[in-house]
Amino acid sequence: MRYGLLVQGAPYSSQASHSALRFATALIARGHQLECVFFYHDGVYNASRLAAPPQDEPHLVDAWRGLNAGHGTQLQVCIAAALRRGLLDERESARHGKTGHSIEPPFELTGLGQLVDLGNQVDRLVTFAP
């Protein structure tokens, strides 16, 4: 089956990211296809390229990247939720006259329309919220 996940919880604030990641690993191990993880609301903090957790803790951002590298899962970030929280890719950073950027590929800034499309494309869309 084709799956999509919607993550709305910030890392280290709620269990949502960990629950979603554990579910993602399990569904892939069962032979399903994880098309996309969509990060929305405070979930956009999962995409921060500057995240530097202690080395003896799970690195959530790297774990999401690993899903993309190992499984081709798209990592989409709601642009409206991200920009107002200071999460910008290079293009948006330049557009807003900022120094530096906090989002980089494989995470991509997209709109809510992409979430609607995802819901239509996949067999199951599962939400993990704070």
Partner 1 sequence: MILHILNRSPGTSLVYRDTLSAMGPEDRLLLIEDGVLGALTSQVRHFQSVEGRLFALREDLASRGLEGRCDETVQVVDVDGFVTLTEEADKTVSWF
Q: Which is nearer to partner 1, 22 or 91 (CB)?
A: 22
Burial of 32 (0-12, 13-18, 19+ CB in 10 A): middle
Q: With contacts defined by CB under 8 A, name the span among 27-35, 56-64, 88-96, 100-108 that binds partner 1.
A: 27-35
**How far is 35 from 67, CA to CA, in rounded Å?**
10
The reply to whether 30 sits near partner 1 by the rule CB under 8 A is yes
- Note whether 9 and 15 are within 8 A (CB): yes
Binding of partner 1 at residue 57 (CB under 8 A)? no
115 makes contact with partner 1 (CB under 8 A): no
| 60, 61, 75, 78: the active-site residue | 78
Residue 106, preceding peptide bond in cis (omega within 30° of 0): yes
Q: Which residues bind partner 1 (CB under 8 A)?
A: 1, 3, 15-16, 19, 22-23, 25-27, 29-30, 32, 124-130
